[in-house]
């Protein structure tokens, strides 16, 4: 499978805000690959772009990964033998490697000002050529470099791209890939503030941390030839590359916040289950080769392979996510659903409602097939936690007739005769009352449902009556007769 004895992969986010769902997918694929092959999953924080650094973002990233169940083996807070795992703590390492490149003349110092670079770029665009550095500083003598340094002129270090070279590498997902060096710019490797760019830090860290497989988004594919050159400049063995397909909106535009939520935090706040979100994200670009769509994390670990990741962009289908959330929710054990419902109730308008576990378990049983989110138990079944304050007027117009009050009064009288009634007892009493009035059972069922719940849909009416109990059901029926007559 691999030329490496030990599988070592890394998720290397920048702390610029909340974790993007695309980032979650990258982390997930690295995690699944490591777990399947008995490898090591590393978290590395790439914080060398200080202009975009966001306080608390690292804590949020770590907490979100833990929430999703993607526990890393080495990284911040956990440590490891090849750390530190935060790039801003590795600046001396990068400086040493830049010096190596300077000494082998595969990199050079550049003193060009931002103004000059901007002017150069505009001139190139006016001539309709791709903007590239013109190597103005490549021919500087050692004396000129020392003189500029003595004057304190800011400089960056650029890599020297070889001329007329075809750069080839293998990608697990995209097979053999090649680029012409003529397409590449002399990339900045070290900025004037002493911080490395992504390209240098990424390659140095991947080598020193013994990364066997670089699994990352497609947006980094065009940077890979520069990375391949850096590996060659240093005389290092290449890792395996795997570039994941883009995530797309339904209109096939790149997934962005303009068209919907993109942060894992957003979906978590809306009540999506971690199991459903992980299941959904796993299917964005990968398929098991079967019709199976519902996966536990353990099943994903067993079946995942990079070879079954697609090249084409993956459509972010929110309807599929909602379906998966419902499937994962319904398959949870009663005890877990009970805990989740109690937590949701404590944050709801019904936090003062007093219901024991037995009552809530009955609600769960009745509503399980009708909910997609935990809050649906409360929002769609609010009548289980308080009497209806109002009645669906469309249902009133359709179902509440002139004769309904007398029919309900008679039904209430039948119910009142019952002792510890079961669902079958309620059904028999309703059947007897319907026979008395020579109407179908449905006539009374709709009226009772409206009276006790205020709405026209939901679980079976006998389930509702049984859960509410005889006294509460009768109370609601009499209130409806009074308010709707």
**CATH (domain of 344):** 1.10.8
Residue from 254, 257, 270, 342 carrying the catalytic annotation: 257
Q: What is the pLDDT of residues 116-159, one digit of tens each?
A: 999 999 999 999 999 999 999 999 999 999 999 999 999 999 99
Whole-angstrom distance, CA of residue 253 vs CA of residue 249: 5
Same domain for 410 and 338, yes or no, is no
Nearest to 87 by CA among 208, 182, 184, 264: 208
Rounded mean pLDDT, 27-55 = 95
Rg (CA), the chain: 32
Is the CB of residue 331 less than 8 Å from the CB of residue 364?
Answer: no
| Residue 167 resides in a domain | yes
Q: What is the pLDDT of residues 287-326, one digit of tens each?
A: 999 999 999 999 999 999 999 999 999 999 999 999 999 9
Whole-angstrom distance, CA of residue 213 vs CA of residue 6: 10
Is the CB of residue 16 less than 8 Å from the CB of residue 47?
Answer: no
Q: Is the pLDDT of residue 1 over 50?
A: no
Nearest to 24 by CA among 87, 56, 67, 88: 67
The pLDDT > 70 percentage for the chain reads 99
| Residue 220 resides in a domain | no
Q: Is the pLDDT of residue 20 over 90?
A: yes
| Residue 66 resides in a domain | no
Same domain for 377 and 398, yes or no, is no
In which band, very low, low, confident or very high, does the pLDDT at 258 lie, cut at 50, 70 and 90?
Answer: low
| Total count of domains within the chain | 3
In the prediction, which pLDDT does 354 show?
A: 85
Q: Is the pLDDT of residue 430 over 90?
A: yes
Same domain for 100 and 149, yes or no, is yes
Rounded mean pLDDT, 90-102 = 98
Same domain for 367 and 432, yes or no, is no
Rounded mean pLDDT, 168-192 = 97
How much is the mean pLDDT over the chain? 96
| Residue 278 resides in a domain | no
Rounded mean pLDDT, 366-379 = 97
Structure letter (DSSP) for residue 459: S
In the prediction, which pLDDT does 419 show?
A: 97
Rounded mean pLDDT, 386-411 = 97
In which band, very low, low, confident or very high, does the pLDDT at 337 lie, cut at 50, 70 and 90?
Answer: very high
| Residue 426 resides in a domain | yes
Is the CB of residue 450 less than 8 Å from the CB of residue 476?
Answer: no
Whole-angstrom distance, CA of residue 427 vs CA of residue 471: 16
Count how many Cα atoms sit within 13 Å of the Cα of residue 150 in the half-sphere of its side chain.
6
Chain Cα centroid distance, residue 270: 12
Domain that holds residue 443: 393-484
Whole-angstrom distance, CA of residue 342 vs CA of residue 410: 37
In the prediction, which pLDDT does 51 show?
A: 84
Same domain for 102 and 177, yes or no, is yes
In which band, very low, low, confident or very high, does the pLDDT at 170 lie, cut at 50, 70 and 90?
Answer: very high
Clarify whether 3 is annotated catalytic: no
Q: Is the pLDDT of residue 257 over 70?
A: no
Q: Which residue's structure tokens are 């009416």? A: 461
Nearest to 365 by CA among 478, 460, 294, 271: 460
Q: Which residue's structure tokens are 């399947």? A: 36
Whole-angstrom distance, CA of residue 22 vs CA of residue 216: 10
Residue ending a domain, among 146, 175, 190, is 190
Is the CB of residue 106 less than 8 Å from the CB of residue 158?
Answer: no
SS3 227: helix
Same domain for 375 and 463, yes or no, is no
Nearest to 282 by CA among 330, 333, 244: 244
SS3 157: strand
Residue ending a domain, among 190, 217, 234, is 190
Same domain for 184 and 129, yes or no, is yes
Lowest mean pLDDT among 63-72, 155-164, 251-260: 251-260
Burial of 117 (0-12, 13-18, 19+ CB in 10 A): middle
Whole-angstrom distance, CA of residue 470 vs CA of residue 6: 66
In the prediction, which pLDDT does 260 show?
A: 67
Same domain for 185 and 105, yes or no, is yes
Q: What is the pLDDT of residues 188-206, one digit of tens each?
A: 999 999 999 999 999 999 9
Rounded mean pLDDT, 22-37 = 98
Same domain for 432 and 363, yes or no, is no
Residue ending a domain, among 190, 210, 235, is 190
Same domain for 376 and 398, yes or no, is no
| Residue 115 resides in a domain | yes
At 451, which CATH number? Answer: 1.10.10.350
Paired residues of 216 in beta bridges: 243
pTM of the predicted structure, to 2 decimals: 0.93
At 107, which CATH number? Answer: 3.90.800.10
Same domain for 417 and 374, yes or no, is no
In which band, very low, low, confident or very high, does the pLDDT at 5 lie, cut at 50, 70 and 90?
Answer: confident
Rounded mean pLDDT, 201-213 = 98
Structure tokens at 62: 């770590």
| Residue 212 resides in a domain | no
Burial 191-208 (b: 16+ CB within 10 A, else e): beeebbbbbbbbbbbbbe
| Residue 245 resides in a domain | no
């Amino acid at each position: 499978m691999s030329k490496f004895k030990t599988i070592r992969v890394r998720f290397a986010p920048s702390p610029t805000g909340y974790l993007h769902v695309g980032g979650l997918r990258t982390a997930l694929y690295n995690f699944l690959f490591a777990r399947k092959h008995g490898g090591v999953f590393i978290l590395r924080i790439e914080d060398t772009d200080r202009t975009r650094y966001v306080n608390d973002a690292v804590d949020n990233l770590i907490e979100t990964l833990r929430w999703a169940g993607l526990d890393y083996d080495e990284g911040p807070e956990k440590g490891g033998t090849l750390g530190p795992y935060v790039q801003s703590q590795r600046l001396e390492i990068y400086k040493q490697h830049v010096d190596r490149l300077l000494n082998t003349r595969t990199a050079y110092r550049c003193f060009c000002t931002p103004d000059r670079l901007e002017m150069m770029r505009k001139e190139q665009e006016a001539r309709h050529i791709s903007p590239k550095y013109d190597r103005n500083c490549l021919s500087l003598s050692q004396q000129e470099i020392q003189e500029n340094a003595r004057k304190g002129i800011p400089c960056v270090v650029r890599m020297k791209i070889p001329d007329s070279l075809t750069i080839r590498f293998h990608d697990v997902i995209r097979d053999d890939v090649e680029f012409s060096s003529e397409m590449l710019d002399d990339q900045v490797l070290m900025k004037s503030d002493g911080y490395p760019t992504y390209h240098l830090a990424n390659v140095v860290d991947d080598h020193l941390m013994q990364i066997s497989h670089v699994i990352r988004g497609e947006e980094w594919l065009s940077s890979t030839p520069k990375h391949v050159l850096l590996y060659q400049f240093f005389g290092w063995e290449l890792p395996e590359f795997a570039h994941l397909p883009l995530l797309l909106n339904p209109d096939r535009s790149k997934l962005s916040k303009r068209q919907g939520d993109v942060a894992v935090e957003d979906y978590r706040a809306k009540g999506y289950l971690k199991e459903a979100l992980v299941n959904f994200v796993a299917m964005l670009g990968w398929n098991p080769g079967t019709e199976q769509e519902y996966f536990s994390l353990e099943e994903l670990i067993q079946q995942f392979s990079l070879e079954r990741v697609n090249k084409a962009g993956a459509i972010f289908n929110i309807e599929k996510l909602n379906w998966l959330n419902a499937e994962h929710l319904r398959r949870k054990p009663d005890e877990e659903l009970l805990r989740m419902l109690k937590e949701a109730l404590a944050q709801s308008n019904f936090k003062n409602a007093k219901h024991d576990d037995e009552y809530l378990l009955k609600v769960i049983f009745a509503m399980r097939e009708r909910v997609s989110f935990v809050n649906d138990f409360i929002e769609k079944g609010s009548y289980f936690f308080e009497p209806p304050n109002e009645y669906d007027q469309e249902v009133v117009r359709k179902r509440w007739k002139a004769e309904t009050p007398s029919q309900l009064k008679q039904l209430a009288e039948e119910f009142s005769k019952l002792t510890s009634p079961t669902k079958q007892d309620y059904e028999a009493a309703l059947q007897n009352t319907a026979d008395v009035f020579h109407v179908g059972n449905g006539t009374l069922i709709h009226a009772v449902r409206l009276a006790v719940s205020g709405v026209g849909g939901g679980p079976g009416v006998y389930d509702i009556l049984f859960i509410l109990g005889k006294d509460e059901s009768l109370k609601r029926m009499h209130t409806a007769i009074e308010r709707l007559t």
